Amino acid sequence: MSETYDPRRTAVLLVDPFNDFISEGGKLWPRVEAVAKEAGLLEHLRSVIASARAADVRVVFVPHRRWEPGDYESWDHPSPTQRSMMERPRFVRGTWGGDFHPDFQPQTGDIVAAEHWAQSGFANTDLDFQLKQHGISHVVLVGLLANTCIESTGRYAMEFGYHVTLVRDATAAFLSEMMHAAHELNGPTFAHAIVTTDQLVTAFDAARTRS
């Protein structure tokens, strides 16, 4: 991998690390479990976040809207996912499922962006403002789901002029076909780099050595 990362200008965007997604007993865990375990999702997320912190790469939490009663009900055009949220709420505010996984808790110096309502972490949030205020030019996307929030956030990041890295084994989706589409078909149309966790950790370790 030829990509290099300046810790002062790089951020890891950790998208939707909710218990409902990645914890045993979470409402959506049964749908992602097979793909997540095949990818080694949790192990790789731990490695990415630990190596980022060790290299002084900023960690940014990019959370989905935590559901509250009445959400989307009066909207003109709720998306299919939002209609599903009305019927089967998940990431419910104030519940265990709407909390971040215990291994992925914000620490001093991290950023927690405003919650996104649909798929992009940039749309109708302060994410772009926060990144620019901290001098970030390179974003590394990990979390859930590869073919929805990761892809949409990555496309927005590219449109806003960021260097975008996808980490193929630090994300998951409901089906292996969705992972294939996210990384083999769609990702190359907007991402500047598509890497493995091991490759990213090596790059972060090199950045730490240089700094």
Mean of pLDDT values over 195-208 = 94
| 16 domain-assigned | yes
Note down the domain range covering 51: 7-210
- 126 compared with 1, residue with greater pLDDT: 126
How far is the C-alpha of 153 from the C-alpha of 62, rounded, in Å?
A: 9
Q: Is residue 2 in some structural domain?
A: no
Selected residue with higher pLDDT from 67 and 1 = 67
Q: What is the pLDDT of residue 3?
A: 83
pLDDT number for residue 169: 98
Instruction: Report DSSP letters for the chain, one per residue.
Output: ------GGGEEEEEE--BHHHHSTT-SSHHHHHHHHHHHTHHHHHHHHHHHHHHTT-EEEEEPBPPB-TTTTTT-SS--HHHHHHHHS--SBTTSGGGSBPTTS---TT-EEPPPBSSS-SSTTSSHHHHHHHTT--EEEEEEE-IIIIIHHHHHHHHHTT-EEEEEEEEEE-SSHHHHHIIIIIIGGGT-SEEE-HHHHHHHHHHHHHH-
Count of structural domains within the chain: 1
Asked whether 135 and 146 are in contact (CB, 8 A), the reply is no
| pLDDT tens-digit readout, 123-147 | 999 999 999 999 999 999 999 999 9
Q: What is the pLDDT of residues 20-59, one digit of tens each?
A: 999 999 999 999 999 999 999 999 999 999 999 999 999 9
- Is 75 domain-assigned? yes
**Domain CATH number, residue 84:** 3.40.50.850
Residue 65 lies in a domain: yes
**Residue 101 pLDDT grade (very low, low, confident, very high; cuts 50, 70, 90):** very high
Query: Is position 195 within any domain?
Result: yes
pLDDT of residue 210: 73
**pLDDT tens-digit series, residues 62-86:** 999 999 999 999 999 999 999 999 9
Residue 73 domain flag: yes
Domain assignment present for 178: yes
pTM: 0.97
The C-alpha angle with vertex 43 and arms to 39 and 48, in degrees rounded to 5, equals 100
Residue 118 belongs to some domain of the structure: yes
